[in-house]
Amino acid sequence: MLPAQNIKLPSDLASALEGGNAKEISKRFNSSVELILNHNQDVYGKSQAEQILKSFFDTNGPSFKYKDLHSNGKEESHCNFIGSLYTSKGTYRVYIYIKNDQIYQMRMDND
């Protein structure tokens, strides 16, 4: 097993998470994306996933801070990012799977 590389979440994506900006995040969505929010899971088209993510951000208040904990992957084109998202309604553990610069899965579970 290869050790995890020191690959950081792209700065535009980290900023979009901190700003609760679903529109910016959705620019990186694959044409279909698996979205898991508080254990509700489904595969959505890009625009529908953006609306669901926007609703999540609107519900959880404007106070976001993302802390990049680590990533793992064999190469930059295929990574899992794990971090914490602090909102006005609580802390969420965030998992983002990116392949070839597109988000295929995004998961946010309440800690």
Q: Is the dihedral of CA 59, 62, 68, 73 positive or negative?
A: positive
Select, from the ranges 6-10, 22-26, 99-103, the one with the highest average predicted confidence (pLDDT). Answer: 22-26
* C-alpha–C-alpha distance, residues 64 and 14, integer Å: 11
Domain count, the chain: 1
Predicted confidence band of residue 1 (pLDDT cuts 50, 70, 90): very low
At 9, is the pLDDT very low, low, confident or very high (cuts 50, 70, 90)? Answer: confident
pLDDT 10s digits, 83-108: 888 888 888 888 899 888 899 999 99
Cα–Cα distance for residue pair 30/68, rounded to 1 Å: 22
Residue 1 lies in a domain: no
Residue count (the chain): 111
The answer to whether position 4 is within a domain reads no
Give the model confidence (pLDDT) of 32-84 as tens digits. Answer: 999 999 888 999 999 999 999 999 999 987 666 766 655 555 555 577 888 88
Q: Is residue 22 within 8 Å of residue 57, measured between CB atoms?
A: yes
Whether the model clears a pTM of 0.75, i.e. scores above it, the answer is: yes
Structural domain includes residue 47 = yes
Residue 3 in domain: no
- Identify the domain containing residue 29 by its residue range: 11-110
- Kindly report the CATH number assigned to the domain that includes residue 72: 3.10.450.50
Is residue 65 domain-resident?
yes
CA atoms within 13 A on the CB side of 19: 11
Q: Is residue 103 part of a domain?
A: yes
Q: For residue 102, is it within any domain?
A: yes
Flag whether 66 is in a domain: yes
